[in-house]
Amino acid sequence: MKISTLIARILVAITFIFSGFVKLVDPLGSAYKFEEYFSSDVLNIEFLIPYSLPFSIVLIIAEIMLGVMLLIGFKSKFTTWSLFLLTLVFLFLTWYSWVYDKVTDCGCFGDAVKLTPKETFYKNVVLIALIAFLIYAVNYIKPLFSKNLLKWLTLGALMVFLYITSHVLTHLPIIDFRPYAIGENLKDGMNEIAEDGLPKVHDFFLETNDGEDLTEALLAKEKVLFVVVYDLEVSEMKGFEKIKTATDLAIKNGYTVYGLSSSYIDDLMVVNKEYDLKFDWLFVDGTVLKTIVRANPGIITLNKATVTGKWNWIDADDFKP
């Protein structure tokens, strides 16, 4: 029983720590996923959409902290029952996604590992079974350290995870698992098929207000800078002051500069006038823009379709031509 409990304990703890960590480094990705679940064509609880980010942060922190607590043996009864209830929530969401063909990527491992709803559902079934066993064998879950040290380790881990969350929300994810990461080539991504059967880079079209497709032309250029604004209504407007400085510098140094947005052209022109922005706008699907850079506004630079840099607006000063 002791060995079985130890094996189950390690498997469950590592699963939750890994799952929590790959989402911790990119909490906005999880928030966007919850927006999908809350939308009218999925769970139809749209009043929760404004709370998607805090909801995702709380869930991510809970997930990774419970994994750590199980691993070190802190408050075993509370931890195992909390893991059981949390996994029940995940089990329902993945069952719903699978049966009703909603939210085809649940995001349970962020962008690091892609699983279908069916695969994720069965993964959660296995986890539920393992956690149920741990609840039964909870007396065999022995703490690794003294009670006082366990408290300090748990508090220390919480502080570290909160700091990481704050850092990546202020700047950008510290690890980028998406096909728009620095060093990735977008044209290669368009030809590389992912596990879901779609190209890794898909729905990436750069269209002018007149409907002209500039995708191929711009991906062939050596020095390109895009300002990404997935939704102007929820943009950090003060960020456009720094965006102007960066884009003026880029234009001066021979960069081709465009803004990418899914917002209305009239609203974008108002911003151009207010902040004296000297670039035109192209239209891109909002979901694609959220995937490109976790900032609104954000900056991405390309050299012949290869991503060479990405910045949140707050770090726009770091752009160097």
Tens of pLDDT, residue by residue over 57-86, are: 999 999 999 999 999 999 999 999 999 999
State how far the Cα of 234 lies from the Cα of 296, in Å rounded to an integer. 8
State how far the Cα of 270 lies from the Cα of 290, in Å rounded to an integer.
Answer: 22
Domain that holds residue 21: 2-170
Distance CA 104, CA 280 (A): 34
The per-residue pLDDT for 111 is: 65
Answer yes or no: is 96 within a domain: yes
> Could you read off the pLDDT of 190-200 as tens digits, one per residue?
988 877 677 88
pLDDT, tens only, 184-228: 999 999 988 877 677 889 899 999 988 999 999 999 999 999 999
When mean pLDDT is compared across 23-27, 30-34, 256-260, 297-301, the lowest value belongs to 30-34
C-alpha dist (Å) from residue 217 to 19, 58, 287: 39, 43, 22
Indicate the pTM of the whole model.
Answer: 0.88
* 121 domain residue, yes or no: yes
- Structural domains in the chain (count): 2
Does residue 122 have a pLDDT over 90?
A: no
The verdict on 24 and 144 lying in the same domain is yes
Q: Classify residue 293: in a domain, yes or no.
A: yes
- Are residue 103 and residue 237 in the same domain, yes or no? no
**17 and 145 belong to one structural domain:** yes
At 108, is the pLDDT very low, low, confident or very high (cuts 50, 70, 90)?
Answer: low
Are residues 264 and 127 located together in one domain of the fold?
Answer: no
Rounded CA separation 139/76 (Å): 8
Q: Looking at the structure, do residues 71 and 196 belong to the same domain, yes or no?
A: no
Tokens coding 68: 């750590």
Asked if the model's pLDDT at residue 106 lies above 70, the reply is no
Residue 179 lies in a domain: no
The tokens describing 8, both together, are 């189950």
| 70 & 165 share domain | yes
Looking at the structure, tell me whether residues 164 and 125 fall in a common domain. yes
How would residue 54 be classed by pLDDT, with cut points 50, 70 and 90?
A: very high
